[in-house]
Copies of this chain bind each other. A is one copy, B any other.
């Protein structure tokens, strides 16, 4: 899974059965120092993330497995966790806790 930051929202109506109300968000993948890295991407949001949130993203086939009901939807990136707390360690590493949420990942 990758770290990404939510930078925008998408207004569209996914008409796949079971995706009513599913939001699409624009996310910016991040590098080791959590700075922007590469192009914006569009992700399905199953954790009610908001603009500026630091998130954990799942890619490719596994992304659609994160969706609440539907398994075969053309989605290749999904947010599965919002980082609640980040504890930076002296050795440049960091630990983090994921916000308790209503989805099955946190």
Contacts and interface: CB of A to CB of B under 8 A. Distances in A.
Contacts of A74: 58, 62-63, 65-66, 78, 80, 105
A95 B39 contact: no
A14 B105 contact: yes
30 contacts: A1-B75, A2-B39, A3-B41, A7-B91, A7-B94, A8-B93, A8-B95, A8-B96, A10-B97, A11-B96, A11-B97, A12-B81, A12-B97, A12-B98, A12-B106, A13-B106, A14-B104, A16-B105, A29-B39, A31-B38, A32-B38, A58-B75, A60-B60, A60-B61, A62-B63, A62-B75, A62-B76, A64-B65, A65-B73, A66-B74
